[in-house]
Amino acid sequence: MTHSHSSSRLRRGAVTVVAVGTLLVPVAGGAAFAQGASVPAVSAATDPPVAPGTVRDLTPAVARQLDAAVQQVLRDAKVPGVSVGIWTPDKGEYVRSFGVADKANGQKMTPDLYTRIGSETKTFTVTALLQLVDQGKAGLDDPIGKFIDGVPNGDRITLRQLAEMRSGLFNYSADPGFYKALTSNPDRPFTPQQLLDYSFKHPVLFEPGARFFYCNTNLILLGLVVEKLSGQQLADYVHEHITVPAGMDKTLFPKGAEFPEPHAQGYTEQTASGKLEDSADWNPSWGWAAGAMISTLDDLRIWAPTVATGVLPDGKPLISAATQKERLDTVKTTIPGAGYGLGIFRVQGWIGHNGSLPGYESLTMYLPEAKATLVVVLNTDVDYKGAEPTTVFGEAITKIVSPGNVFNLPAQAAAR
């Protein structure tokens, strides 16, 4: 990403790019997934070639390469702490943590910590919607105005366009008033309607369906649709119909600022002062259906294949095969090798989503051919050379593990 985290930049209304998975950024136009700061993989010249769709055996030698590459990014990007998990059915696994969870007391980063997962929440919200579509309670091509009043172009923007980021609505988290309200009082709760109000006071950016533009407003609307169709609060619906059936007992949708222990502290410069602060206790209600959820490395390990295949760990369907096919039918973005489906991305063969909100980032991906899962969680959202740290870690790791499928999201301005 090339955005500035400072509120002064926001007030100037700069036109910048925003990464998929990013919740709070000063953006007045343009969109992209992320920018990759290239990190050389630590790899021996004698490594055998690895075909696309396959991963290397996670031998002790490969583990040492991964240790070195991850620690290099940790140092270069000045990330306090990171946990990495790679799991395969037949090539072994790799689970490691590096650095610290708390800079104040030196507590080590460990794989069992709870973490805020930001925009990975979108994969849960859209799953909830797709389950209700399967039940015949709505159609993906229904207009949002059928369910929610007062949406600009609401008679023409469809649920599908909201989920695939092609609505044309303004991103509420790019509104200067919102940014000031949040950073001046990070403990305050926001209601979904308050978030929509920040968006709807701006003109629409383009006609429904015209192009891809990553926008948190879309998910707030879909969360409200889930509540209306299910008769449940979104947090309760996700718990009952998604995380419990998947066996994800350490994944939750907080209703306030609660954050289970043990967790890492989170470090951000998206603050009123522009200085680095600890955001662990910030109220994530401002992210709601777009970014409020909490999980762990192990639970995200479960989620990666579940959301990518539409099948629960017990073999039962999470959503129907036909609806899952629609979920994975990606629309073009401006980035080679990358597409965005219904609340999910495909990047160089990997399927999943990333998350970034003040103090925390995450990346959860699945490579279907190899049945391989990669999860990265860390406790800062401060960019490195204009790139999100998870993108830099993801590239460094996949250069070693899956050189035929290197995760890379170069910054691109959106189609004009």
For the chain, the average pLDDT equals 89
Dist. CA 101–CA 107, nearest whole Å: 6
pLDDT of residue 377: 98
Return the closest-CA partner of residue 307 out of 54, 180, 122. Answer: 122
Residue 31 has what pLDDT?
28
User: 72, exposed or middle or buried, with CB in 10 Å at 0-12, 13-18, 19+?
Assistant: middle
| DSSP bridge pairs for 263 | 114
Per DSSP, the three-state class of 278 is strand
Specify whether the CB–CB gap between 217 and 172 falls below 8 A.
Answer: yes
Sequence ranges of the domains in the chain: 7-401
Beta carbons of 351 and 280 less than 8 angstroms apart: no
CA distances to 80, 81, 375 from 107, in Å: 11, 10, 21
| Cα 261 to Cα 112: distance, rounded to the nearest angstrom | 10
Give pLDDT, residue 49: 83
Distance CA 400, CA 10 (A): 38
Each residue of 147-198: pLDDT tens digit? 999 999 999 999 999 999 999 999 999 999 999 999 999 999 999 999 999 9
> 331-348 pLDDT, tens per residue?
878 778 899 999 999 999
């953006």: which residue's tokens? Answer: 27
Q: What is the pLDDT of residues 246-304, one digit of tens each?
A: 999 999 999 999 999 999 999 999 999 999 999 999 999 999 999 999 999 999 999 99
Of the candidates 329, 332, 334, 401, the one whose C-alpha atom is nearest the C-alpha of residue 365 is: 401
User: For the residues 47-69, what does the mean pLDDT come to?
Assistant: 94
Report pLDDT for 413: 29
CATH fold for the domain made of 7-401: Beta-lactamase (3.40.710)
In this structure, are residues 154 and 318 in contact, taking their beta carbons and an 8 Å threshold? no
**How far apart are alpha carbons 296 and 248 in whole angstroms?**
9
Q: What are the pLDDT digits (tens) for 80-102?
A: 999 999 999 999 999 999 999 99
List pLDDT tens digits, range 36-48: 344 444 444 456 7
For 265, the 3-state DSSP assignment is: coil
